[in-house]
A and B are shown apart, each in its own frame.
Chain A
Amino acid sequence: GQQVQQSPASLVLQEGENAELQCNFSTSLNSMQWFYQRPGGSLVSLFYNPSGTKHSGRLTSTTVIKERRSSLHISSSQTTDSGTYLCALPRITGNTGKLIFGLGTTLQVQP
């Protein structure tokens, strides 16, 4: 099954509304990473978040290691926040630190 599950799959907001994106992991984790991808664009790292809460502007990431979940909160959304938000789990086995990605949450913020 999917090791990284994201919800919701898609979300439509009016500008100014808040968003809460969820990421759940079926395996134990030591760290995880949130990315943002604009349509047709590259992945931009938002947070590398081993545990706890981190803030960056209007974004807040909260990861609870023992509960195998992480959330991304977007406050006062703007149209420029539209795109896909991906969470990823590093699978560290041996010498490999490959990332296992969720399928993403596609966010559309309407003016």
Chain B
Amino acid sequence: NAGVIQTPRHKVTGKGQEATLWCEPISGHSAVFWYRQTIVQGLEFLTYFRNQAPIDDSGMPKERFSAQMPNQSHSTLKIQSTQPQDSAVYLCASSSDWGVDTQYFGPGTRLLVL
């Protein structure tokens, strides 16, 4: 079991460019979560899929951020027109049950917007 896989591990973009982050959940897990970690805000929930369906995106910024899960083996988080304040570590997690099981985290993608 390779655990949750996230690519790339590091990404540097210029202001206004697009960034796409990838997550491969643990095989067989039905729930996929995206979080963002910054020094100031700590770890914040962004969005959540269950059986590939978007369930809760209450943490997603209303503009420029979108997430998809086209199949059970991967999810993407896309940030359009990146801004310096988007710089953070973006973490993906998966679990076998949405509410009562441990969430397993990937290594994260460190995004730096210049």
B91 touches A95 (CB 8 A): no
Q: Closest A-chain residue to B39, C-beta based?
A: A103
Give the total of B residues in contact with A, Cβ under 8 Å.
Answer: 27
List of A residues within 8 angstroms of B55 by Cβ: 94-96
B42 touches A97 (CB 8 A): no
Question: Chain B interface mostly helix, strand, loop or mixed?
Answer: strand
- Whether A92 touches B99, Cβ cut-off 8 Å, given contacts A43-B105, A98-B45, is yes
Would you give the 0/1 interface string for A68-111, flagging 1 where the beta carbon is closer than 8 Å to chain B?
00000000000000000010101010111111111110000000
Q: How large is the interface on A (under 10, 10 to 19, 20 to 34, 35 or more residues)?
A: 20 to 34
A103 touches B103 (CB 8 A): no
List of B residues within 8 angstroms of A31 by Cβ: 100
B25 within 8 A of A: no
Binding site for A on B (CB under 8 A): 31, 33, 35, 42-45, 48, 50, 55-56, 59, 91, 93, 95, 97-108
Cβ-closest 7 pairs across A and B: A97-B99, A101-B43, A43-B105, A42-B107, A96-B56, A98-B45, A92-B99
